[in-house]
């Protein structure tokens, strides 16, 4: 029994669960009007700034993380989530991984609301996924003495730079959500810690926690006063 529990505990069920939920939502949207239909996107919870600020539909900051516009969008995001999610969930544990994912996704959507096109729809798990890349950067800073982590952090850091440059050059990509996700992931990595690897400096955890809370507070305050 203990072996089964240990084996189950090692299984990346949070990552797999998130992928399954995303595909279920995509399937429901497909049969109910399409994943590129504006009204259907709004019905399922895509972010539309007037609805969030004027109608108080803040729940869209979460629901939009499970909505994708077109098959290419969801396939690229879910393949990326699978490979990066497996590693982060293994290193941080199931619930820490889930905290990182949602905090990064929500903050990425907040940044998108602040700086994005007022009349554009926004949806996708990209902010949360970029948050997982941000966590790798945090690992590279905190555990650079570990050869594997240092090497992975450098590789993913280069990937993040290329991805952000590509986002700026292509239309229709929410680069603000990506940047917000990376920043939140980097900070929340310090907040939750990573006991399986080692201890994170207490001062860094405090600074990161205060910074993250302050960024959330300022972003929400600005949005509410617009």
Looking at residue 200, what DSSP letter applies? P
CB distance 110 to 183 below 8 Å:
no
The mean pLDDT of the chain is: 90
CB distance 173 to 129 below 8 Å:
no
Q: What is the pLDDT of residues 216-226, one digit of tens each?
A: 999 999 999 87
Mean pLDDT of 198-212: 94
H or E element at residue 122: strand 121-122
Residue bearing the bigger pLDDT, 162 or 92: 92
Domain locations in the chain as residue ranges: 2-224
Provide the pLDDT for residue 183: 95
Distance in angstroms (rounded) separating the CA atoms of residues 164 and 174: 10
Domain 2-224, what fold? Rhomboid-like fold (1.20.1540)
Strand 121-122 versus strand 47-48 pairing type: antiparallel
Provide the pLDDT for residue 159: 77
Distance in angstroms (rounded) separating the CA atoms of residues 61 and 113: 9
Distance in angstroms (rounded) separating the CA atoms of residues 139 and 184: 14
The closest of 127, 138, 126 to 92, measured between CA atoms, is 138
Compute the C-alpha angle 163/207/100, nearest 5°.
Answer: 45
**Which amino acids are annotated catalytic?**
126, 178
Question: Is residue 184's pLDDT more than 90?
Answer: yes
N- to C-terminal Cα distance for the chain?
A: 56
Global confidence as pTM: 0.91
Question: Is residue 67's pLDDT more than 70?
Answer: yes
Give Dmax over CA atoms of the chain in angstroms. Answer: 56
pLDDT above 90 covers a percentage of the chain that reads: 71
Distances (CA, A) of 39 to 51, 97, 179: 13, 32, 27
CB distance 74 to 68 below 8 Å:
yes
The closest of 57, 78, 186 to 178, measured between CA atoms, is 186
The full length of the chain comes to 226
Question: Is residue 191's pLDDT more than 60?
Answer: yes
């Amino acid at each position: 029994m203990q072996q089964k529990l240990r084996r189950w505990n090692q299984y990346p069920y949070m990552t797999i669960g998130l992928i399954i939920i995303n595909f279920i939502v995509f399937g429901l949207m497909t049969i109910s009007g399409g994943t590129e239909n504006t009204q259907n996107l709004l019905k399922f919870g895509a972010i539309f700034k007037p609805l969030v600020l004027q109608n108080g539909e803040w729940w869209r900051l979460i629901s939009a993380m499970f909505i994708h516009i077109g098959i290419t969008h969801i396939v690229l995001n879910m393949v990326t989530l699978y490979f990066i999610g497996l590693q982060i969930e293994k290193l941080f544990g199931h619930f820490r991984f889930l905290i990182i994912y949602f905090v990064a996704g929500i903050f990425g959507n907040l940044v998108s609301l602040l700086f994005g096109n007022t009349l554009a729809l926004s949806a996708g798990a990209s902010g949360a996924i970029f948050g997982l890349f941000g966590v790798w950067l945090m690992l590279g800073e905190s555990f650079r003495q570990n050869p594997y982590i240092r090497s992975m952090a450098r590789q993913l850091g280069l990937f993040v730079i290329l991805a952000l440059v590509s986002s700026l050059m292509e239309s229709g990509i929410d680069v603000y959500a990506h940047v917000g996700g990376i920043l939140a992931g980097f900070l929340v990595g310090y907040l939750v810690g990573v006991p399986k690897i080692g201890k994170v400096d207490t001062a860094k955890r405090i600074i990161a926690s205060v910074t993250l809370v302050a960024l959330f507070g300022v972003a929400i305050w600005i949005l509410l006063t617009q």
